[in-house]
Amino acid sequence: MYKVNEVFETIQGEASYTGMPSIFVRLQGCPVGCAWCDTKQTWDVNDTYLVSLETTVEKKADSELWANASAEDIFALFQARGYQAKHVVITGGEPCMFDLNPLCTLLHANGYSTQIETSGTFEILAPAETWVTVSPKINMRGGYKVLTSAMQRADEIKHPVAMQKHVDELEQLFADSGVTPKLVYLQPISQKAKATKLAIDTCKAKNWRLSVQVHKYLGIN
Ligand SMILES: C[S@@+](CC[C@H](N)C(=O)[O-])C[C@H]1O[C@@H](n2cnc3c(N)ncnc32)[C@H](O)[C@@H]1O
Ligand SMILES: Nc1nc2[nH]cc(C(=O)O)c2c(=O)[nH]1
Ligand code: SF4
Ligand SMILES: [Mg+2]
């Protein structure tokens, strides 16, 4: 069973798939502890907040409510809701705390493409066709380390930045892991002007790409 915080249909707002109509499945639970995390409501799994899957879909605001659901339950929900998007983004929380093979395999068999948003701190259990976005978490409170296997599996790296230290840590990770990723995105933390300038200047200098969380500028999910 997967622990589901929310399911919604929107436009992917980050990195290579920006602009792609997508169904988001946000899973509950994350021990990594990024100070600037924009989804802190997904960190804890509290049995007091266990609800039905329907309830999580009808959320009007971020909350810690979550539901147990199988891959089949989640797919049935897409059909019941009449979602039209054919790309599914599995995020969290930290989705790689779950075995994502059953969900991705079922979705691929039904004509969907899949993408995972992960911190790279847990083994990635998903089919080869799944697009993997690793947003490596370096020196966060929870003390988790980015796995070299995650760096090797990544189709793209997306790194939130607010200060030069974050850029330096990323380059150190590339050196330590021996992985030189093909696609590197810098994402300004929380749309701050200083973070955005740093990201643009660094992208120009290193031939990396900018990812600006388009959904936040648009005021949509
Ligand atoms: C909320 S995380 C969930 C998936 C997974 N735990 C991870 O960190 O990749 C989804 C994406 O949002 C990014 N993110 C979280 N808070 C952010 C913020 N305040 N500003 C910019 N990006 C942020 C993360 O780095 C990650 O790329
Ligand atoms: N529109 C939209 N795009 C996103 N890309 C990654 C997101 C995430 O929270 O993982 C996200 C999100 O929450 N909304
Ligand atoms: S790893 Fe992802 S969900 Fe977990 S705290 Fe960091 S940004 Fe938030
Ligand atoms: Mg988000």
User: What would the pLDDT profile of 152-165 be if each residue is shown by its tens digit?
Assistant: 999 999 999 999 99
Residues of the chain below pLDDT 70: none
Our CA angle for 87, 55, 112, nearest 5°, is 15
- pLDDT single digits (tens) 12-59: 999 999 999 999 999 999 999 999 999 999 999 999 999 999 999 999
The two three-digit tokens of residue 94, written as one number:
């930290």
ipTM over 0.85: yes
* Residue 124 assigned ligand-binding role: no
Task: Report if pTM > 0.80.
Answer: yes
CA distance 184 to 3: 30
Domain architecture of the chain: domains with CATH: 2-158 (3.20.20.70)
Task: Answer whether 15 contacts ligand 3 (Cβ < 6 A).
Answer: no
pLDDT at res. 197 = 98
Residues with CB under 6 A from ligand 2: 10-14, 24, 39, 91, 117, 215, 221
Task: Answer whether 39 contacts ligand 1 (Cβ < 6 A).
Answer: yes
Task: Answer whether 94 contacts ligand 1 (Cβ < 6 A).
Answer: yes
The closest residue, in CA terms, to atom 26 on ligand 1 is 135
pLDDT at res. 79 = 97
Measured between alpha carbons, how far is residue 28 from residues 93, 94, 101, 215 in Å? 5, 7, 17, 21
* Residue 160 assigned ligand-binding role: no
CA of 118 to the centre of ligand 1 (A): 8
pLDDT at res. 176 = 97
10 contact partners, CB below 8 Å, separation of at least 6: 21, 22, 24, 215, 220, 221
Task: Answer whether 137 contacts ligand 3 (Cβ < 6 A).
Answer: yes
pLDDT at res. 205 = 98
